[in-house]
Homo-oligomer: A and B are copies of this chain.
Amino acid sequence: MTEKQQSIVNSALKLFADKGFDAVPTSAIAKDAGVSEGLIFRHFQNKVGLLNAIMQMGKEKIADNVSEILALNTPEARVTAIMEIPFYIAEEDYPFWKLVYSLKWQNDYYDDEMSKPMKDILISALVEMKYIDAESEADLILSYLDGFATTILLKGEVVDKNKLLQTLRKKYK
């Protein structure tokens, strides 16, 4: 990855997250990145190729999180760790997650694989915890997750994250 390649990825991620993939022309990306428009196509073939490269890089980061959670000893610890993920998304990762969530709603580019590993961990942890219907419970928790992520990513500073997290923990004691 050259410096300019990285610059393209950074700008594209920022703009895609902000305005949506389809609303951002490659000319705007090039301008923001301070490179010629042609360079985008030299390195990423086409606009979707650029999107895929961004998603790929994000997925690799996620893989790290997954293995961290898997390293936790008890199934309880693993479940709560997953439930609290949205509260600990680093500010620098906001654009990536915003992009992921915005793409969910656009038929053409949606990639379902994203939440699959989390669901697998959840189910096996819940089975270990003797839940009767582990899959429904996992779906419930994943729904919560989507909701918290949405609130935190969109409302940002408007909502008091700590208070929200406290309220959630009280409920799940």
A139 in the interface (beta carbon within 8 A): yes
A1 in the interface (beta carbon within 8 A): no
Shortest distance between the CB of A118 and any CB in chain B (Å):
14
Residue of B nearest to A137 (CB): B167
Residue of B nearest to A149 (CB): B147
State whether B102 touches A171 (Cβ < 8 A): no
Can you offer 8 A-B residue contacts whose CB atoms are under 8 A? A22-B22, A101-B105, A104-B154, A142-B151, A143-B148, A144-B144, A145-B147, A147-B147
In the complex, which residues 134-165 of chain A have their Cβ closer than 8 Å to any Cβ of chain B?
136-137, 139-140, 142-148, 150-151, 154, 159-160, 163-164
Tell whether A150 pairs with B154 under 8 Å between CB atoms, given A18-B107, A105-B105, A133-B167.
Answer: no
State the number of copies, please. 2
State whether B107 touches A19 (Cβ < 8 A): yes
Tell whether A20 pairs with B19 under 8 Å between CB atoms, given A144-B147, A147-B150, A167-B133.
Answer: no
A52 in the interface (beta carbon within 8 A): no
State whether B151 touches A146 (Cβ < 8 A): yes
**Chain A contact surface mostly:** helix
Q: CA of A36 to CA of B54 in the docked complex: distance in angstroms? A: 39
A71 in the interface (beta carbon within 8 A): no
User: Which A-B residue pairs are the 4 nearest by beta carbons?
Assistant: A147-B147, A102-B105, A22-B22, A143-B147
Q: CA of A140 to CA of B19 in the docked complex: distance in angstroms? A: 27
State whether B146 touches A108 (Cβ < 8 A): no
Chain B CB within 10 Å — which of A18, A102, A145, A171 has the most? Answer: A102
Tell whether A150 pairs with B159 under 8 Å between CB atoms, given A20-B106, A102-B105.
Answer: no
